[in-house]
Amino acid sequence: MLSKAISIFLKDFRQEFRTRYAINSIMLFGITTLTVVSFSLGESNLPPKLSATLYWIIIFFSAMSSLAHVFVREEESGTAMALRLHTEAEPVFFGKFLFNFTVLFVLMLIITPLFLLFTDTYQGDMLLFSFILFLGIIDLCSATTIIAAIVARTSTKGALFAILSFPIMLPLLLVLVRATEKVFLESTFSQLSPDFIFLVSFPIVMLTASFMLFKFVWFD
């Protein structure tokens, strides 16, 4: 099961490098919004609450622009059927989850330093911040992967992905913004623990449910 998932992940990875569609669109989207934000704010010093909100808006909408691609590509190129014949549903889900995780990880790796550089608001514990970001990536991917699979099978793919994801992710985004704001305000680990409990339990619940439900989305 794990080896199958990893081979699906590697297949997607290789395919991605042929076109670089997902990574290009997510990067350009992220960098464009970041530029607009920092350009219009100029030299003004942002309060932590505002910069935390802006940061997660940039990440969320960049993610929305391309996380569905991993399933849409299979449907559009007609390879979904072959994949369905070849493996069970669960390894496919896990492989796609890993791929989305990687895409988002690369995005964060580039956007985060740029954001901190441009807005110049950073104080607080770097390690704690990276930990929140890491959990944030897992959280975002755990909720969106199955929705991407749903959206890929409908007729209006692009717009629907954001519409379906938004209500499910809203509580998550609220907590992520709050946690990031707390880090910017130099909070300690213990002050952040209620947020961490949420951020750890959310993907566990989501992934379990997705694992059980994915075969209904994937097969007819």
Which residues contact another protein (rule: CB under 8 A)?
146-147, 150, 153-156, 160, 163-164, 166-168, 170-172, 174-175, 178, 194-195, 197-198, 202, 205-206, 209-210, 213, 216-217, 220
Per the CB < 8 A criterion, the answer to whether 153 and 217 are in contact is yes
Q: Which is nearer to another protein, 180 or 210 (CB)?
A: 210
Question: How many C-beta atoms surround the C-beta of residue 161 within 10 A?
Answer: 26
Residue 78 gets the label, from left (phi > 0), alpha (psi -120 to 50) or beta, of: left
Q: Which is nearer to another protein, 116 or 150 (CB)?
A: 150
Question: How many C-beta atoms surround the C-beta of residue 191 within 10 A?
Answer: 13
- Tell me the angle at which helices 2-19 and 89-119 cross, rounded to the nearest 10 degrees: 50
Token readout for 151 is 């959206």
Q: Which is nearer to another protein, 97 or 198 (CB)?
A: 198
Q: Would the CA dihedral through 13, 18, 22, 28 be positive or negative? A: positive
* Angle, alpha carbons 1-99-36 (nearest 5°): 165
| CB of residue 41 to another protein, shortest distance in Å | 23
| CB of residue 194 to another protein, shortest distance in Å | 4
Distance of CA 171 to the CA centre of its chain: 15
| CB of residue 149 to another protein, shortest distance in Å | 9
Q: Which is nearer to another protein, 36 or 209 (CB)?
A: 209
| CB of residue 210 to another protein, shortest distance in Å | 7
| CB of residue 58 to another protein, shortest distance in Å | 21
Q: Which is nearer to another protein, 16 or 195 (CB)?
A: 195
